[in-house]
Structure 1
Amino acid sequence: MPLRLVQVNIKARDDSALGRFWADALGWDTSSEGPGVTNVEPAGFTYPDPAVLYVDVVTVPDPETVDYRVHLDLATTSLDHQRELVARLIRVGATPADIGQRDVPWAVLADPEGNEFCVLSPG
């Protein structure tokens, strides 16, 4: 049986705030299994579901010591979709990021805690 990725775990200073950002960004819901953990999951998700990828945002006491705790790439279906998605992500709290990418067909943004992610061009 093939192995399947089912969860991405993001470390954060504020799991609730960062979890809300990613839920808004993805159009998903949040839940919590306890203090310091925000689950970001598709609407109607029931754990465990090996066919669904979900995100756990977990508060950690130590500050980030490397440039990236996580880097996600988001897919788009058209150039219009890419532009709309970038605009929506900025409205919910992302900021444009310059990581030296120069002239590329994807957009680099950062979440509210500074984790960079890309909004890919279609194809």
Structure 2
Amino acid sequence: MACRISELVLGCRDPEALARFWCEVLDFVVLDREEGCIEIGPREGFGGPQPTIILSQRDEPESGKSRLHIDVNATDRDQDAELERLLALGARPADIGQTGEEQWHVLADPEGNEFCLLKARLNPL
């Protein structure tokens, strides 16, 4: 028997703003709200093939650099078109020392959490 990732928890200053951003990026919806927390995920809800994301309010940012980041792949357009869409939603380029030869783009969400846009296009679930 093995485990499966069901939820990712991301500490943030403004769960509402980050929920709007990630819902647009991933085509997710708000599944639940509790004081200081918003859970977003696929329209079919918790327990499906994709994990949900819990955005948990934190007054102070975590100290040090996060050791976990999210990778995303476009499902209905090429990487360049998806990069334009993500930048229009509020993502911004992030420099982590890449050479410029990578096949991915390193970005940051509106609160500075790094994530990567990979080149391969995936089939939507």
Q: Same fold by TM-score, threshold 0.5 exceeded?
A: yes
| 2:89 corresponding residue in structure 1 | 92
CA separation of 1:14/1:70 partners in 2, compared to 1, >3 Å: closer, same or farther?
farther
TM-fit CA distance, 1:66: 1.3
| 1:116 corresponding residue in structure 2 | 114
Note the residue ranges of structure 2 that are not aligned, 5 or more in a row: none
TM-fit CA distance, 1:18: 0.9
Contact 1:70 1:115 in 2 (8 A): no
Report 1:1-123 matches (<5 A).
1-45=1-45, 47=46, 49=47, 51-68=49-66, 70-76=68-74, 81-103=78-100, 104-122=102-120
Counterpart residue type for residue 89 of structure 1: L
Moved over 6 A (4+): none
Q: Describe the superposition over 1:49-108 as per-residue Cα deviations: whole angstroms up to 9, x where unpaired.
A: 254411000001222311227411112469x52112111111111011111111211001
Q: Describe the superposition over 1:1-52 as per-residue Cα deviations: whole angstroms up to 9, x where unpaired.
A: 221111100000111111111111111111333121111111131x4x2544
In 2, Cα distance between equivalents of 1:75 and 1:6: 19
TM-fit CA distance, 1:122: 1.7
Q: CA RMSD in A?
A: 2.1
Note the residue ranges of structure 1 that are not aligned, 5 or more in a row: none
What TM-score do you get using the length of structure 1 for normalisation? 0.86
In 1, Cα distance between equivalents of 2:111 and 2:69: 12
SS of corresponding position for 2:87: helix
SS of corresponding position for 1:117: strand
CA separation of 1:63/1:52 partners in 2, compared to 1, >3 Å: closer, same or farther?
closer
Counterpart residue type for residue 89 of structure 2: V
Taking every aligned residue pair, what percent have the same amino acid on both sides?
35
